[in-house]
A and B are shown apart, each in its own frame.
Chain A
Amino acid sequence: ETGVTQTPRHLVMGMTNKKSLKCEQHLGHNAMYWYKQSAKKPLELMFVYNFKEQTENNSVPSRFSPECPNSSHLFLHLHTLQPEDSALYLCASSQAYRGEEQYFGPGTRLTVT
């Protein structure tokens, strides 16, 4: 238990659905991250929020829309996804945006049909 929770743990959605992934950290951290982990590929950074402000959008398609209402919560809104978006989506947090270790949630396994 790392202090970072993610819901749901598993999600199956059609290409026309809209769904949201939720992440919550109980560590008092100021930075939060979304990563995508696909089979056979390195972990890919998607978005970074520092003190609720987005500081990084790593050329992510607009069908992924992040939201950070406060430093403890992070959402990833999904719409019109493609089958190649099927992956493990990991949320992480760190005390500061730089020079610190990151604490990861258990991930949401997303399958797009």
Chain B
Amino acid sequence: SQQGEEDPQALSIQEGENATMNCSYKTSINNLQWYRQNSGRGLVHLILIRSNEREKHSGRLRVTLDTSKKSSSLLITASRAADTASYFCATEGSNYKLTFGKGTLLTVNP
């Protein structure tokens, strides 16, 4: 069953702007992870945030987690054309399996 669900499905912005993607899930989690995938390639891990954490940063990436609302957001600041990719959230549940959403397709226009 699908756990994480990203919103929006697609996002188009100009270079230099910030991009925000959201993820909602239904059941309790151990952690939530964000991944990036360039077209037809493998996934690249971005950030892992544990259920007892509220915010994490990595370079231009900021991830928040609100377990009371069962939601997370990924913010990419000062976007670049190279950030164009699909972004997926994945939740690790109590069974330790990682369940992925359908992703947000981000297009950053030069």
Contacts and interface: CB of A to CB of B under 8 A. Distances in A.
A104 B100 contact: no
B67 to A, nearest CB: 16
The main secondary structure of chain A at its interface with chain B is loop
A99 B42 contact: no
A45 B88 CA distance: 14
A40 B10 CA distance: 13
Q: Bin chain A's interface residue count.
A: 20 to 34
B60 interface: no
B30 A106 contact: no
A18 to B, nearest CB: 25
A97 B100 contact: no
Interface in A84-107: 88, 90, 92, 97-107
Interface string B17-40: 000000000000011010100001
A11 interface: no
B45 A97 contact: no
A99 B40 contact: no
A65 interface: no
Interface in A41-58: 41-43, 45, 48, 56, 58
B2 interface: yes
A43 B97 CA distance: 12
A4 interface: yes
Given A42-B2, A42-B100, A101 B43 contact: no
Contacts of A92: 43
A91 B42 CA distance: 9
10 contacts: A4-B42, A41-B102, A42-B103, A45-B97, A90-B42, A99-B92, A101-B33, A102-B43, A104-B45, A107-B42
